[in-house]
Amino acid sequence: MTGKSLFDKIWDAHAVQTLPGDAALILIDRVLLHERTGGVALKSLKSSGRAIAAPRQAFVTMDHVVDTLPGRTDKTLMPTGTAFIVETRNAAREAGLTLFDIGDERQGIVHVISPEQGLVLPGATLVCPDSHTCTQGAMGALAWGIGSTEAEHALATQTLRIKKPRTMRITIDGALAPGVTAKDLALHVVAELSSSGAKGCIVEYAGSAVEALSLEERLTLCNMATELAAFSAIIAPDDKVFDYLAGRPYAPKGEQWTRALESWRDLRSDPDAVFDVEAHIDANEVALMVTWGSSPQQGAPLDGEVPSYETVAGRDSREAYDRALDYMDLKPGQPLLGLPIQGAFIGSCTNSRISDLRRAAAVLKGRKVADGVRAICVPGSSQVKKQAEIEGLDRIFLDAGFEWRDSGCSMCFFAGGESFGERERVVTSTNRNFESRQGPGTRSHLASPETVAASAIAGAIADPRPLSR
């Protein structure tokens, strides 16, 4: 008998029943909701006359459409956004769910606050109607993004019917060069494997380079698994995870903590576990990265150039390639360093945690954002914001000329309210550079927070290494 993968172990421990077609009825330990899709699910559930099976295991936050300007209220720049907030709040209260509302110090981007509050636990199953739920796999949980109807199903039954995903292991051995971040690694992986490279698979990230990553760096790496079209990603939990969780508000305490810890230590793939797909990445080869196109797979080394069609022909169709260059207003062979920018954004569930802000602040300290660049920093949670202010990071951002916002998704995506301008070039620490993702006609270049910071200062795509200290 072959061994089990980490995924298999969690799956088996949650399989209430097997279903036809290699599927199972899987017990769900946590349902997380946000105002963009949560209100819809709660309302629809109510109108169908169904109750929530385990209200204590469902949590709601406000992140997607809430305003991030200081002194915010229920008013939003997105037309009709207020309705999402108010209806979600009312539905959450009525259903007796825990709500991290605007003004609550626990509020923040769902994938940032879930580890922060200890909602996501190793070995647990967690779902949220949001595609970046895979972020939370870095905690050793099976966490994945679902649709709104599935959210209703999870709420009504505390289970989901799912087809077992294929397993894929991405082993990253070696060591990242100094200055190369988890974001660069994530962009490298997507560029190497393509935006369908892990299609439908549960990806286990393994290898010495993954073990060496800090917990927050692992969250960044797992965050972009959905950009590989993965079902989700997971990393075997270790002391970094346990140390992080100890004492968090919703983490187990006392005797339960001891018991939990004991069981969590077994959460790893057996040495003889077999994966459906194996991929290998050499960490030594990872460069600082930036995307040049309108798909996350269209990334290149920061000191490189816009690739010719021939270089990417295996992945991008001629049409997709031409369209991306046209949209981004770039030509093959053009160097990426030095491309003038009009916007800089640090935030999102990819890169808005305290370590991200610290590294960006190290680049910004004592420097000024270039004229003509609109630079914005949006902490991932109210806790992150508070911590940053205790450390004086807010002053560094503000003195440099960054806007310092309240936490939320903000301009990670265009919801109809605020956006960067048409044809504006923006360097952004987010995860998606799709056409119009950050505003109609906006040209987004994905990069690490420090690259965003360095670019904001230069007024053009720039290498942060000479500025980091």
Which 422-461 residues touch ligand SF4, going by CB under 6 A? 430-431
Among 199, 367, 386, 395, binds another protein (CB under 8 A): 199
Q: Coil, helix or strand for 421? A: coil
The token duo for 98 is 């825990």
The residue among 90 and 284 lying less far from another protein, judged by its C-beta, is 90
Side-chain-side CA neighbours of residue 445 (13 Å): 37
Among 34, 432, 443, 445, binds another protein (CB under 8 A): 432
Dist CA 66 CA 406 (whole Å): 9
Phi, psi of 286 (to 5 degrees): -75, 125
Q: For residue 322, give every residue at least 6 positions away whose Cβ sits within 8 Å of its Cβ, in sequence order, or none.
A: 309
Stretch binding another protein (CB under 8 A), from 179-187, 204-212, 329-337, 431-439: 431-439
Q: Scanning residues 24 to 83, which ones bind ligand SF4 (CB under 6 A)? A: 63-64
Dist CA 400 CA 397 (whole Å): 5
The residue among 441 and 459 lying less far from another protein, judged by its C-beta, is 441
Question: Which entry of ligand SF4, another protein, none binds 18, CB below 5 to 8 A by partner kind?
Answer: none
The site for ligand SF4, by CB under 6 A, has a size of: 12
Q: Does 154 bind ligand SF4 (CB under 6 A)?
A: no
Among 62, 109, 224, 447, binds ligand SF4 (CB under 6 A): 109
Q: Does 378 bind ligand SF4 (CB under 6 A)?
A: no
Q: Does 18 bind another protein (CB under 8 A)?
A: no
Residue with token string 């119009």:
436
Q: How far is the CB of 388 from another protein (least distance, A)?
A: 28
Question: Which entry of another protein, ligand SF4, none binds 348, CB below 5 to 8 A by partner kind?
Answer: ligand SF4
Among 130, 152, 184, 217, binds ligand SF4 (CB under 6 A): 130
| Whether the Cβ atoms of residue 455 and residue 344 lie closer than 8 Å to each other | yes
The token duo for 202 is 């549960």
Dist CA 412 CA 380 (whole Å): 11
Side-chain-side CA neighbours of residue 356 (13 Å): 35
| Whether the Cβ atoms of residue 26 and residue 296 lie closer than 8 Å to each other | no
Q: Does 349 bind ligand SF4 (CB under 6 A)?
A: yes
Stretch binding another protein (CB under 8 A), from 124-132, 331-339, 369-377, 451-459: 124-132
Q: Does 83 bind another protein (CB under 8 A)?
A: yes
* Sign, CA torsion 10/116/39/223: negative
Query: What H or E segment, with its residue span, contains residue 375?
Result: strand 374-377
Q: Does 146 bind another protein (CB under 8 A)?
A: yes
Question: Which entry of ligand SF4, another protein, none binds 464, CB below 5 to 8 A by partner kind?
Answer: none
Dist CA 370 CA 375 (whole Å): 9
| Whether the Cβ atoms of residue 339 and residue 458 lie closer than 8 Å to each other | no
Total residue length of the chain: 469
Q: Scanning residues 396 to 415, which ones bind another protein (CB under 8 A)? A: 413-415
What do you get for the CA distance between the two ends of the chain, in Å?
Answer: 52
Question: Which entry of another protein, ligand SF4, none binds 431, CB below 5 to 8 A by partner kind?
Answer: ligand SF4
Q: Scanning residues 268 to 327, which ones bind ligand SF4 (CB under 6 A)? A: none
Q: Coil, helix or strand for 344? A: strand
Site string for ligand SF4, 398-427 (x = CB under 6 A): -----------x--xx--------------
| Whether the Cβ atoms of residue 220 and residue 254 lie closer than 8 Å to each other | no
Q: Does 98 bind another protein (CB under 8 A)?
A: no
Site string for another protein, 294-333 (x = CB under 8 A): -x---------------------x-xx-------------
| Whether the Cβ atoms of residue 453 and residue 464 lie closer than 8 Å to each other | yes
Dist CA 446 CA 296 (whole Å): 8
The residue among 9 and 64 lying less far from ligand SF4, judged by its C-beta, is 64
Question: Which entry of another protein, ligand SF4, none binds 349, CB below 5 to 8 A by partner kind?
Answer: ligand SF4
Q: Which residues bind ligand SF4 (CB under 6 A)?
A: 63-64, 109, 130, 132, 348-349, 409, 412-413, 430-431
